[in-house]
Every structure is written in structure tokens, then in C-alpha cells.
Amino acid sequence: MQNNSIFSLSKRLLAVFLLVSFVFLLVIVRLAYVQLAKGKWLQSKAIEQWQRELPLNSERGKIYDVNGAVLATNYSTYDIYVRPSMVKDPKAVTYALCSELGLDFDETFKKVTDRFVSESLIKLQVEKSVANKIKENNLSGILFSENNSRYYPYKSALTQVLGFTTIDNVGQAGLEAYYNKYLTGVKGYILEESDVKGVKIDNTLSTYIPSIPGLNLELTIDINIQKFTEDALSLLVEEQKPKKASAIVMNPNTGAIVSMATYPNFDLNNVPRDNVTNLMETAKNINIVDVYEPGSTFKCLTMANSIDVGVAHLSDTFYDPGYRIVDGEKIKCWKLTGHGHQTLSQGLCNSCNAVFVDLSLRLGKDKMYEMFEKFGLGSPLGVDFLGESGGIVMNYDSAKIVDVARMGFGQAIATTPLQLITSICSIVNGGKLYKPYFVNKITDANDQIISSTNPTVLKNTISPKTSEIMRTMMEDVIKQYSGYYAFIPGYHVGGKTGTSQKYDGNRLSGEYIASFVGTFPADRPDYVVLIVVDEPGGASYYGSIVATPYAKKIIENIITYKDYKPSADLIKDIAQVNDKVKMPNVVGMDVNSAINTLEDLGLQVEIQNEGEIIRSQFPAPDTELSKKSIVMIDFN
């Protein structure tokens, strides 16, 4: 009996021992789990409770022009936060913030009194003077983190090229967006020890982790030539009242974009964010994104390719009665009475559609489409910019012979202005299609080069010999024919005008796009200038009148800026500007009488619409003109 009692006691003791051992083992396992599996997490949570960090925003990289002029920089602002645990007088803090920052009182008061968060953002990029007024109240719980806001010294210049940033300094459009990862720096922090209320503990060290500034961009843009371009475009808008207008100046020997402008634009320091749809439309760089039928400027490509592949020769002659019939469809020339007999060179100078229909048919469908591919049409060129369009080339199988005929003079095909000017550059530079680009190099804060851009040849388009022929032809256009409004006595200037009709679906809209592409100096081009005018609202829609004079202004300013001297072989031309005539009144005359009267005075005539009796003219009677100037007569 006694043995049974002892045995029963032993069992109970053993059970207690095992239970205690099991509990002890659980504690050991739990401690091991906490220490090994969750030790780092618990450590970080502990640090969060006694350590606070105040962000230090990095300085966004600057943007410079090719000569070092600052195009985009930064100025100091403050980001304002509130730390509720430190706030002693919530109403006073809320009032101080709302009165200076124009915030809603109730919403701000919620942030100020929300003890479940360590810090709340009140407002980004507050002007320094405003932040100082808030500081003067000496209220606890308000924190100030120095930041940088973007500033554009040239305001509306380069609106669509530079683009802009969001309120928190992230690139949103233009080069600011494309190169955002380079321009954006690395944020820093100030780490400090604080008590449970978030108050800094006295006699503790703060850790300073400095921010790293973003990288800088040096562009190919020359702000002086950019100003010439913007000024010319502003005058064009004032006088021609277009829906839109754009201009590009390019170095044909590298692909570097020297200037690029678009109307309408806006001050980059005051981005109109109240209407997002309108903002994104205005911020769009139509030189790179939008397409248009280039019209007669495209004839330079057809002419160059025809000569280069051997289907056209300088000795060829053509006859133009005012139209061609292809596949039963009548294709009219802009000169309804026709140009009669003319040489190949005269076909370009006269901008004769009939000649280019003939050249297109000689090339044929296969060679025409090979030409598109050779000149980079139908696909993006790879410019360092977001949203580049590749243009529109009709599907090969869908294209009829009449379509091919129209393509030769710039209809039934659409390009971007950038594609057109890049193609023209290859025609006058010896036959090299360069990849267009905006950025010369990327540097760090110590001016060390991180990367640089070397000119890249995408394709060879024509031979140097053909290029030489084309330079001469394009200069003849300016000296003798439709580009005369770009004539600058004593200087070699080449070019080609363009006028194309706009379509609304499959129907003509009654609106036009006028354009001009110029080369300077024509015999060895350093610059190519393109102006495109969408729906001009003035007296004319012809490129020779609407676009050419403004390209001339850009070239004239470049001549002065770069100190080009007159060519010795052209000194005689300087006297030509003094050879003046007065515009006669031809309203009421029949078309033949009007043309004869004007041509007898040495003027060149462009005709709008169809009819028998002239109803209007441009310019007005008695306007003084140089001989070879272009005038316009209209049946409406």
C-alpha cells in the first residue's frame, strides 16, 4: 500500500517535471525564434520608435545649351511636414499653416492631431519667403525640409523640347521626362534619436546622409539660334494667323538639332495644369509626334532618288499642259495653265507636279518604296525624345499606281517635320542620313563626362555626286523661282517650298499646310531650316508666301550671329535688291492678261482656285517689290 503511494507520488512528480520541462522548452524555442527569425524585424521596429528621419531632397540636374547657357535650373523651396506628437497647440499650428498656405482648416487640423502617424506632409515646394513667415511663429511640431523647384530662365522658349516636371520634381514631358533617370538625384536623410512623442533626445548625435545631385545635360540647342527661331515664328503667327506652326534648325553634318520651336506654347515656370487635356495637347512636340503630307518639299527626295538610281538625267526634258492622267484620274499641276516645255532642273524650280508624276512612274512602285526605306520614312528615326512617330506610308500591297504617282510630289504619304528635315539634310550633306539628337553629353556635378553622343549615320541615301547636283538645283529654286522670298543677296541659299491640302477623313477639308525648307550656305550647308504652317489664316496659303520669308529671317540672323561673309562670286547680287517694281492692279483682268502683265514686270505668279476673271490679288496694288518676287492672283 505504501509502495503504491510512493509510486503514485513519483508519477505525479514526473508529470510535473515533464510539464515544466516542456514549458521551459517552449520558452527556449520562442526565444530562439524571436532572436533568430524575427530579430532584425524587431530591431528595426525598435529603431523606428526611437529614431526619426527627415528627408533631404536631391538637387535635380541642370540643362545647358551647347554654349553653356542655363536652360533649366533649380531654386530653393521647402517641403513642410507636421509631427503630431510634438504639437503643443494644434489650433495655432493649423491656423499658421492655413493662413500662409491657403489650405482647408478642417483637413489640416486632422493631420495636425493624428497621433497614429509619426509625420504628415502638409505641402511641397513652398516658397522660401512663405516658409520663413511660418517659422516666425515658433510653433513646435512643424518641420521644414529644404527642396528644389525647377526654374526655366528663358520662360516659353523650348516649351515642347525641355518639357516640365511634376510638383515633386519628376520629369513629366519633353527632355525632362526622357532623361528623368539621369536628372533625378538620390535623396539623403537626417537621422535623429527621439522619445516616444517624437521629440529629439538631448545630447544625442544626428546622422547626416547627404543627397546626391542629379546629372546635367548639355544640349545641341543654341539658345541664340533658338531665339531667332522663336522670334520668326512669333512674327509668322502674328501675320499669318495659323492654327499651329513649327520650326526646326538642324546641323546636316551631324544630325544635331540646333533649334526647335512650336506654336502655341506657354511659360514653363507657370505650367497651365488646370486643363490637363489642353496642357498635354499644347505640350506635345508636333515636330516629332504629328504627321502631315509634306507636299512639294518632298519633291527634293523624289528628284534626288530619280537622279541617283539613273531614271532621270539633267538632259531630260518634259512637257506640262497643266495635268497628267494616271489610271483614268486627272492629277493637276498647281499652275493650271501648265508650265509647257521644261528641263529636269526647271521641273524642281517650277515645282511642277507633272514632272514628278513622270519621275514617280519611271521609278515604279518597288523603287519608290525602296526610297522610303532609304530615307527613314515609315519608322521612327530614334531621336532621344518620347513619343516619336514613324510617319505613315501606305501598305505596299494597297498602293495603286495613281497613289505612287501622287507620292512623288508629297501626297498620299505622311511624315513628321523631323523626318522631312532629316531626309533633306542627307540630300545636301553628301548622302548620309544622320540620327537626329538633342543631347551632346551628360556630366556630373564636377563636370566629369558620364556619356557623350557621337553622330550616327543610319543609312546612305544618295551619292556625293547626286548631292552636289541637288545643292545646285535647290539654290536655283531660291535664285530664280518659287523660293525667291528666301533670296539673300551675296549669299548661297537653297530651298524648296511646299503647299499641301488637308483631308477630313477621305475628303479635302479646304484647309492647307504651307512649308519651306532652306539650306545655308547652299554650296556647303551648315544649317537646314524647316518651317511648317498648319492652316494659315492670312491672305495666302502658299508656302512661298506663308513660310519662306520667316525662314529667311532665321538665316539672316544666323549670318550675323556667326559672322558669315558674302561670297565673292555673288557680290553682283547685292545690287539686285535695288531693282524694284510696283505691283499693278490686275483685279478684273482675265487670267492670261494678268499673268502677262505681271511676268512682263519680272514677277512670278501663283494662281489660287479656278475661273476666268481675277477677283483678288496679293500684295495690294502699288506695293514695291523686287523683281522675281512671287505674287498671287485668285479667282475668288
The domains of the chain are located at: 52-216, 223-444+453-578, 579-636
C-alpha cell at 500: 499641301
Phi, psi of 492 (to 5 degrees): -80, 110
| Of 246, 296, 345, 467, catalytic | 296
Strand partners, 507: 504
C-alpha cell at 170: 519628376
Residue of 515 and 630 predicted with greater confidence: 515
| Helical spans, DSSP H, in 523-629 | 543-546, 548-561, 591-600
CB 551 within 8 A of CB 261: no
Nearest to 415 by CA among 380, 443, 442: 380
C-alpha cell at 563: 559672322
Nearest to 462 by CA among 432, 500, 482, 418: 432
Question: Rounded CA gap, 510 and 516, in Å?
Answer: 20
Mean pLDDT of 273-285: 92
Question: Rounded CA gap, 194 and 54, in Å?
Answer: 12
Question: Rounded CA gap, 529 and 554, in Å?
Answer: 8
CB 514 within 8 A of CB 292: no
Question: Rounded CA gap, 501 and 448, in Å?
Answer: 50
pLDDT of residue 591: 85
Question: Rounded CA gap, 347 and 335, in Å?
Answer: 12
With residue 190 as reference, give the H or E element that holds it.
strand 188-193
Question: Rounded CA gap, 593 and 585, in Å?
Answer: 12
Decide: helix, strand or coil at residue 56: strand
Architecture of domain 223-444+453-578: 3-Layer(aba) Sandwich (3.40)
Instruction: List, for residues 284-323, the tens digit of each pLDDT value.
Output: 999 999 999 999 999 999 999 999 999 999 999 999 999 9
Assign 189 a pLDDT band (cuts: 50, 70, 90).
confident
CB 310 within 8 A of CB 281: no
**CATH code at 52-216:** 3.90.1310.10
Instruction: List, for residues 153-187, the tens digit of each pLDDT value.
Output: 999 999 999 999 998 889 999 999 999 999 998 88
Residue 195, pLDDT > 70, answer no
Assign 628 a pLDDT band (cuts: 50, 70, 90).
confident
> What single-letter DSSP state applies at residue 435?
P
How many CA atoms does the CB half-sphere of 355 hold within 13 Å?
30
Question: Rounded CA gap, 176 and 499, in Å?
Answer: 34
**CATH code at 579-636:** 3.30.10.20
Mean pLDDT of 435-440: 99
Question: Rounded CA gap, 357 and 487, in Å?
Answer: 28
Q: Are 223-444+453-578 and 579-636 equal in CATH topology? A: no
Four-CA torsion 234, 240, 241, 242, nearest 10 degrees: -90
What does pLDDT average to over the chain?
89
Assign 4 a pLDDT band (cuts: 50, 70, 90).
low
C-alpha cell at 267: 511659360
Residue 253, pLDDT > 80, answer yes
Nearest to 530 by CA among 352, 282, 268, 286: 286
Instruction: List, for residues 98-128, the tens digit of each pLDDT value.
Output: 999 999 999 999 999 998 888 889 998 898 8
C-alpha cell at 440: 551632346
Reply yes or no on whether 315 is catalytic: no
Tally Cβ neighbours within 10 Å of residue 328.
Answer: 6
C-alpha cell at 106: 478642417
Residue 5, pLDDT > 80, answer no
Q: Indicate the range of 56-60, 107-111, 305-309, 505-509 predicted with least confidence.
A: 505-509
CB 618 within 8 A of CB 631: yes
pLDDT of residue 425: 99
Instruction: List, for residues 229-252, the tens digit of each pLDDT value.
Output: 999 999 999 999 999 999 999 999
Cis (ω within 30 of 0) for the bond into 264? yes
Instruction: List, for residues 392-417, the tens digit of each pLDDT value.
Output: 999 999 999 999 999 999 999 999 99
Residue of 572 and 597 predicted with greater confidence: 597
Question: Rounded CA gap, 423 and 425, in Å?
Answer: 5
Nearest to 240 by CA among 635, 550, 629: 550
pLDDT of residue 632: 82
CB 170 within 8 A of CB 187: no
Question: Rounded CA gap, 414 and 292, in Å?
Answer: 5
If 0-12 CB within 10 Å is exposed, 13-18 middle and 19+ buried, where does residue 407 land?
Answer: buried
Mean pLDDT of 592-596: 87
pLDDT of residue 204: 62
CB 355 within 8 A of CB 342: yes
Q: Which residues contact 314 (CB under 8 A, 6 or more apart)?
A: 307, 343, 344, 345, 469
